[in-house]
A and B are shown apart, each in its own frame.
Chain A
Amino acid sequence: MVVIDRENCKGCGRCVAACPKKCLALGETLNAMGIKSVEYKGEGCISCGMCFYNCPEPYALKVEK
């Protein structure tokens, strides 16, 4: 399952495009930086890690198996 740290997300959307199960989306609410950060839709994650490797930020998300 993908675990997101919203405060470290810059909202670039690369993970959203990379997710094979389309279970990520940019949210509507702003984080402290004022960025619409990514959110997990709550289901569908197969823990493939594609979001992690496409994300330019080290700590915006991680994938628990």
Chain B
Amino acid sequence: MATIEQKGMYKVFPRSGKNVSFTHYCPGCGHGIINKLIAEACAELGLQDRTIFVDPVGCGVFTYYYWDAAHISAAHGRASAAATGVCRARPDAVTIAYQGDGDLGAIGFNNAFQAASRGEKFGCIFVNNSLYGMTGGQMAPTTLDGETTTTTPFGRDPALTGHPLHVCEVFAQLQAPVYIARVSVADTRRIMQAKKAIRKVFEIQRDGKGYALLEILAPCPTNFKMDPLKAADFCMNEMEREFPLGVFRDEEAREPLAARPVPRASSCRDLFVEKDAVLPAVDDAAFAEKRFKFAGYGGQGILSLGLCVAEAARLERRHTLWFPSYGPEQRGGSANCSVVVSGTPIGSPTVEHPDVLVCMNQPAYERFAGDVKRGGTVIVDETVPVKTDPPDGVRLIRWPAIKMAEEFGVPKAANTMMLAALKKFKCTGLSDDNLEKSLVASFKKKPALGEKNRELLRLAEAREHS
């Protein structure tokens, strides 16, 4: 018969600059027992070359020194989120997240729960020792009622901090998980059950069945402030009373998960760009870069106006960026957008000192007029009281955009009236033809409105201006 010895672990662990063959765990720690079972299951099933472990923050942080397989270390609480990425990027891998009760039950609960709800294809091994171990034994969500920790020195008081969180029971409300169970490593019989359950988690992943959660109750002699055998007794008696062992879900007979649909690489382009009109920008160092700011309140068509200029630039094969800024409200809040048009690639989409500023209301003028570059232009709606002059060397144009739009019977077209001003006063460096084309294109879902706006644009442009 074969020797009973450790499988699936490295022979030496190069920790802290030394090669040792013992772990960092305290004497009698449940993690050590669990680490051995995991390495053994992985090796005995021949899965070491397929397995990617996602390691936690907590006492289990050094598992990458021990298990002879691939590893990724996640930030605190994020092992299930990282495992989601791993299992989606590598659907054929056996992905195993290893997390503690502070990690999974507190900071990372939502990550773990949502991953379970989505039925991600990984196994989550969740070590519950009823407290934060590595940081010195603070209360965790799993701390028992009355249990003494450094942050509950008189025992956990449910009136103050609630009752222990039953992770398996909560996760068992979800449809997607294939397997959910709670085991323990407090004594030999329990360790043998845990060994089978860990093996099962690997088998479910090997066969691509879906999400599995295995909670393992583990003694923490150091922070329980007990010797290893008393700590194991506490684990068996006190912890199991709160966290009964058992299988909450076992649907291992399920069919393997179907491959997740992969978003088509071209889908963004299909959604946002006209397929027949995508021509890349052409470098032209002779074209002087222009920076625009359009500002007003949401609903005045400020963002659309900026987009229209950017689209005209794109039609002209200039480099261009459009960058909106607005509050949480869809209508009525302050809104502005920045547009950069350049003959060379653009570094930043933000515009602090515009060449051209278009203001549709008073706050916009007051906020941005002082920033306009010397030699630049401010176009401000005639309704805006101009209480302070723009900086020296800046041209101020007061333009009756809102009034004209009302006169034409299309009050919403005030932004088109502003485009007329940009065109009339040659503020953009772009061709009249492209400005009109982009205006019409912005109404592509309502072509009649596009033509109407083109007509209004021409009428407004023809208007005398003093």
| A interface residues (Cβ-Cβ under 8 A, vs B) | 5, 7-8, 10-14, 17-18, 35, 47, 49-50, 52-60, 62-65
What residues of chain A lie closer than 8 Å to B191, measured between beta carbons?
53-54
What residues of chain A lie closer than 8 Å to B4, measured between beta carbons?
47, 49, 52, 62-63, 65
Does the CB pair A53–B23 fall under 8 Å?
no
Q: Does B376 contact A (CB under 8 A)?
A: no
Does the CB pair A58–B228 fall under 8 Å?
no
Q: B7-40 toward A: CB 8 Å interface, digit per residue (1/0)?
A: 0010100000000011101111111110111010
Distance from B219 Cβ to chain A, minimum over Cβ atoms (Å): 9
What residues of chain A lie closer than 8 Å to B32, measured between beta carbons?
55-58
Does the CB pair A57–B23 fall under 8 Å?
yes
Interface SS, A side:
loop
Q: Does B170 contact A (CB under 8 A)?
A: no
Q: Quick one: given A56-B29, A65-B1, are A14 and B36 in contact (CB under 8 Å)? A: no
Q: Does B314 contact A (CB under 8 A)?
A: no
Task: Bin chain B's interface residue count.
Answer: 35 or more
| A14 vs B23: C-alpha distance when bound (angstroms) | 16
Does the CB pair B6–A14 fall under 8 Å?
no
Distance from B266 Cβ to chain A, minimum over Cβ atoms (Å): 50
Q: Does B192 contact A (CB under 8 A)?
A: yes
Which residue from chain A places its CB closest to the CB of B3 in the assembled complex?
Answer: A64
What residues of chain B lie closer than 8 Å to A62, measured between beta carbons?
3-6
What residues of chain B lie closer than 8 Å to A65, measured between beta carbons?
1-4
Q: Does B188 contact A (CB under 8 A)?
A: yes
Q: Quick one: given A10-B27, A14-B232, A59-B21, are A54 and B33 in contact (CB under 8 Å)? A: yes
Does the CB pair B228–A14 fall under 8 Å?
yes
Q: B183-200 toward A: CB 8 Å interface, digit per residue (1/0)?
A: 000011001100100000
For the complex of A and B, the 3 pairs showing the least CB-CB separation, nearest first, are A56-B32, A12-B27, A62-B5
What residues of chain B lie closer than 8 Å to A47, measured between beta carbons?
1, 4
Which residue from chain B places its CB closest to the CB of A20 in the assembled complex?
Answer: B188
Distance from A6 Cβ to chain B, minimum over Cβ atoms (Å): 11
What residues of chain A lie closer than 8 Å to B31, measured between beta carbons?
56
Contact of B228 among A5, A12, A35 (CB under 8 A): A12
Does the CB pair B6–A59 fall under 8 Å?
yes
Does the CB pair B188–A56 fall under 8 Å?
no
| A54 vs B219: C-alpha distance when bound (angstroms) | 12
The CB with the most chain A CB atoms within 10 A, among B1, B36, B227, is that of: B36
A-B contact pairs, 17 of them (CB 8 A): A8-B22, A10-B28, A13-B227, A18-B187, A18-B188, A52-B4, A54-B187, A55-B36, A56-B23, A56-B33, A58-B23, A58-B35, A58-B36, A58-B39, A59-B11, A59-B21, A65-B1
The CB with the most chain B CB atoms within 10 A, among A10, A11, A18, A55, is that of: A10
Does the CB pair B188–A59 fall under 8 Å?
no
Distance from B388 Cβ to chain A, minimum over Cβ atoms (Å): 75
Distance from A57 Cβ to chain B, minimum over Cβ atoms (Å): 6
| A17 vs B227: C-alpha distance when bound (angstroms) | 12
Known interface pairs A12-B28, A53-B191, A53-B192; 14 further A-B residue pairs with C-beta atoms within 8 A, sorted by A's residue number: A10-B26, A14-B28, A52-B4, A53-B37, A54-B191, A56-B25, A56-B27, A56-B33, A56-B35, A58-B21, A58-B32, A58-B39, A62-B4, A65-B4
Q: Does B126 contact A (CB under 8 A)?
A: no
Which residue from chain B places its CB closest to the CB of A16 in the assembled complex?
Answer: B229
Q: Does B221 contact A (CB under 8 A)?
A: yes
Q: Does B122 contact A (CB under 8 A)?
A: no
| A60 vs B191: C-alpha distance when bound (angstroms) | 18
What residues of chain A lie closer than 8 Å to B28, measured between beta carbons?
10, 12-14, 56
Distance from B63 Cβ to chain A, minimum over Cβ atoms (Å): 12
What residues of chain B lie closer than 8 Å to A52, measured between beta carbons?
4-5
| A5 vs B6: C-alpha distance when bound (angstroms) | 13
| A64 vs B5: C-alpha distance when bound (angstroms) | 8
Q: Does B66 contact A (CB under 8 A)?
A: yes
Does the CB pair A58–B27 fall under 8 Å?
no
What residues of chain B lie closer than 8 Å to A59, measured between beta carbons?
6, 11, 21-22
Does the CB pair B5–A60 fall under 8 Å?
no
What residues of chain B lie closer than 8 Å to A12, measured between beta carbons?
27-28, 221, 228
Does the CB pair B6–A58 fall under 8 Å?
yes
Which residue from chain A places its CB closest to the CB of B227 in the assembled complex?
Answer: A13
Distance from B231 Cβ to chain A, minimum over Cβ atoms (Å): 9
| A7 vs B11: C-alpha distance when bound (angstroms) | 14
| A47 vs B1: C-alpha distance when bound (angstroms) | 10
Contact of B9 among A5, A53, A58 (CB under 8 A): A58
| A18 vs B1: C-alpha distance when bound (angstroms) | 22
Interface residues in B316-369 (C-beta closer than 8 Å to A): none
What residues of chain B lie closer than 8 Å to A18, measured between beta carbons?
187-188
Does the CB pair A8–B21 fall under 8 Å?
yes
What residues of chain A lie closer than 8 Å to B23, measured between beta carbons?
56-58
| A65 vs B5: C-alpha distance when bound (angstroms) | 11
